[in-house]
């Protein structure tokens, strides 16, 4: 069943109506200030479109994991402040989720205004495993909209969660799919359907265990699977290499060996780095050297050395694969990009994707989370890629072939 869209809602008319929208405003903070406003910028177009059409917009969002308790560290105050900076529409922040403050501010809302509810995860019912508890919270959320309200699901970063503000609320009000979710599903469906080839998948990040299901699914679909980040050392160890003190998941060695076997026998080739930047410690100013993968313990620091980035030879090789691709999906940095000394591998992948987008008309998708933060920190712009996903976990689960409760709930309408 096809979900109703934001265009359907606008066509039905929203002036004077309370429209409840679930957005993804889970942004990183630095000393109480938003340090990466990418998700806010991505969420504002739909919010502003509704406000400009005369709706009384009530925004729900979460920040971090406050575990069902009110914690000032996870307040949405910095998010509300940044929203106010980025839009001309008045933005108010309620002091609670569905309590007295939210009720009073919602009742007093004017047409074309924005009310941001406090962190929905301050209420333990939001993430409860108990259907009745979540349903009760969803009833309170719906009650804020009065007699003619509607719900818009636009938080792709949360659609893989069966939470009150994502799943249950869609059964309480006329429900519509936001443009952000609509775009995400469209782009990701291209990656799992019949993508233009060559199709290159770049996976990084710390752990193989975080990517098992997506590897299992995409190894049957992609042409090349490039492996970087901390997870690469489990692959190297599975090939018989010593990896020093680098991050290693011993319990995943058999699984990784099976992936390597399937790569040898199948159509998707796993491509591993040939050189690594090995450091004496995990620090921005750590002494380091580039070593071939078959001699990672032969450097000055021996078995105590740890890998913090793919080497320059590997970065060039990865860039070459990406340059020839017509479809690229990337999730997970190649190294510790937060330290400039160990950001070159991640920078090379991002630059190659930018070139593939511009010169090869490739579909290039950055899979959210750390990858999205990395491209912005390294000076790249969102519009240099075909798409930057706002949901790392959600995009991975979609590519794993899993159903997403927040998407299914909207389509069920």
* Residue numbers belonging to the annotated binding site for substrate: 24-26, 39, 62-65, 121, 161
Please give the annotated binding residues for ATP, written as ranges. Answer: 211, 307, 338, 368-371
Spatial contact of 324 and 361, defined as CB atoms under 8 Å apart: no
Catalytic annotation on 393?
yes
Q: Which of 41, 207, 281, 413 is catalytic?
A: 207
Spatial contact of 234 and 209, defined as CB atoms under 8 Å apart: no
SS3 388: strand
Please tell me the distance from the alpha carbon of residue 217 to that of residue 303, in angstroms, as a whole number: 35
- Helix (H) / strand (E) containing 409: helix 405-411
- Helix (H) / strand (E) containing 201: strand 199-203
Please tell me the distance from the alpha carbon of residue 104 to that of residue 171, in angstroms, as a whole number: 24
Q: Other C-beta atoms within 10 Å of 7: how many?
A: 13
| Dihedral (CA of 361, 366, 372, 378) sign | negative
Count of residues making up the chain: 413
Please give the annotated binding residues, written as ranges. Answer: 24-26, 39, 62-65, 121, 161, 211, 307, 338, 368-371
Q: Which of 39, 49, 221, 301 is catalytic?
A: 39
Residue partners of 403: CB distance under 8 A and separation at least 6 = none
Catalytic annotation on 13?
no
Q: Which of 99, 393, 402, 413 is catalytic?
A: 393
Catalytic annotation on 369?
yes
- What Å distances lie between residue 185 and 22, 178, 179, 290, 319, CA to CA? 16, 11, 10, 40, 27
Q: Which of 369, 391, 392, 406 is catalytic?
A: 369
Catalytic annotation on 207?
yes
Which residues are annotated as catalytic? 39, 207, 369, 393
């Amino acid at each position: 069943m096809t979900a109703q869209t934001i265009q359907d809602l606008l066509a039905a008319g929203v002036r004077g109506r309370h429209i409840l929208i679930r957005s993804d405003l889970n942004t990183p903070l630095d000393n109480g200030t938003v340090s990466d406003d990418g998700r806010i910028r991505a969420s504002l177009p739909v919010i502003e479109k509704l406000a400009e059409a005369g709706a009384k917009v009530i925004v729900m969002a979460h920040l971090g994991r406050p575990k069902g308790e009110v914690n000032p560290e996870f307040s949405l105050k910095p998010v509300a402040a940044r929203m106010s900076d980025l839009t001309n529409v008045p933005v108010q922040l309620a002091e609670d989720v569905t309590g007295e403050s939210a009720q009073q501010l919602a009742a007093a809302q004017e047409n074309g205004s924005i009310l941001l509810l406090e962190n929905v995860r301050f209420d333990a019912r939001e993430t409860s495993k108990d259907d009745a508890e979540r349903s009760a919270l969803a009833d309170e959320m719906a009650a804020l909209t009065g007699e003619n309200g509607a719900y818009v699901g636009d938080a792709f970063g949360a659609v893989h969660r069966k939470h009150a503000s994502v799943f249950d609320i869609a059964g309480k009000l006329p429900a519509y799919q936001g443009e952000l979710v609509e775009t995400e599903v469209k782009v990701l469906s291209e990656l799992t359907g019949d993508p233009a080839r060559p199709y290159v998948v770049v996976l990084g990040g710390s752990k193989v265990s975080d990517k098992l299901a997506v590897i299992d699914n995409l190894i049957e679909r992609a042409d090349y699977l490039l492996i970087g980040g901390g997870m690469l050392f489990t692959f190297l160890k599975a090939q018989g290499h010593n990896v020093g003190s680098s991050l290693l998941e011993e319990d995943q060695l058999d699984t990784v060996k099976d992936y390597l076997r399937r790569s040898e026998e199948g159509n998707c080739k796993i491509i591993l780095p040939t050189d690594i930047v090995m450091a004496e410690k995990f620090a921005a100013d750590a002494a380091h050297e580039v070593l071939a993968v078959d001699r990672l313990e032969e450097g000055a620091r021996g078995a105590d050395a740890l890998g913090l980035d793919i080497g320059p030879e590997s970065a060039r090789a990865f860039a070459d694969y990406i340059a020839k691709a017509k479809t690229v999906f990337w999730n997970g940095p190649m190294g510790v990009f937060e330290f400039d000394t160990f950001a070159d591998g991640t920078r090379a992948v991002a630059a190659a994707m930018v070139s593939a987008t511009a010169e090869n008309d490739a579909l290039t998708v950055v899979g959210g989370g750390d990858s999205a933060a990395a491209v912005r920190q390294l000076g790249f712009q969102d519009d240099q890629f075909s798409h930057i996903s706002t949901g790392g976990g959600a995009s991975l689960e979609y590519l794993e072939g899993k159903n997403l409760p927040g998407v299914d709930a909207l389509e069920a309408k």
